[in-house]
Amino acid sequence: MTIQVKISKKKIPYKNAYLFLKKRVELLKKLKSQEMIWILEHPLTYTGGIRSNNSEILDKKIKIFKTNRGGKITLHNPGQKIVYFVLDLNKRKKDIKNLVRQIELTIVEFLKLYKIKSRPDKKNIGIWVGDKKIAAIGIRVSNWVAYHGFSINLKNNLKYYKKIVPCGLNNTKVTSVKVESNIKIIEPEMKLKKIFLKNLKNI
């Protein structure tokens, strides 16, 4: 099954990516497009999923972009790598839990490259290093087309998490590859692409 892979070097505004994904989903439903993975970074942006609420906003001056993904309020900023996807589960296993599992495996495997021991958490979705969150997962499924994706904190400025309650968690409980590893981060996009494509064969 052919999957288009896009890698953007320039930072993509969140709204642009969000609208692009929604359009791509509709095209895929009509069989007018192929599946896609898009690896990118966003400028500083706070987004709210379908379970977010205003009590999670600690700094009332910030703007929250409302989105239809699962989850609560989170942060995107330079140095955090985003992996979006549009996948047709009609042509695969109609198993959302397995899709999430393969995403989790992808992140854990990627972090091993930096000698970081990480794990998923059944209660708090995402990937953890000890008691700190290093990666977030937020997906939506429409007519068995799955989209949105996951983010990994590579070398982003973590101080911006202090303005929110990220994913409903204590905002001191976040970390990054730069904090957890001394290994230099080189071409993470290519590494993520290789690992994720491999694991997608299992969905």
Measure the CA–CA gap between 22 and 13, rounded to whole angstroms.
15
Measure the CA–CA gap between 119 and 108, rounded to whole angstroms.
7
Measure the CA–CA gap between 166 and 74, rounded to whole angstroms.
5
Alpha carbon of 107 to those of 75, 99, 113, 116, 135: distances in Å?
A: 18, 13, 10, 11, 8
Alpha carbon of 128 to those of 66, 174, 203: distances in Å?
A: 25, 9, 23
Q: Residue 91 is encoded by which pair of tokens? A: 């042509």
Q: Residue 174 is encoded by which pair of tokens? A: 């976040």
Measure the CA–CA gap between 122 and 79, rounded to whole angstroms.
27
The catalytic position among 116, 158, 167, 177 is 167
DSSP secondary-structure letter at 13? P
Task: State which H helix or E strand residue 36 sits in.
Answer: strand 35-40
Q: Is 6 a catalytic residue?
A: no
Catalytically annotated residues: 167
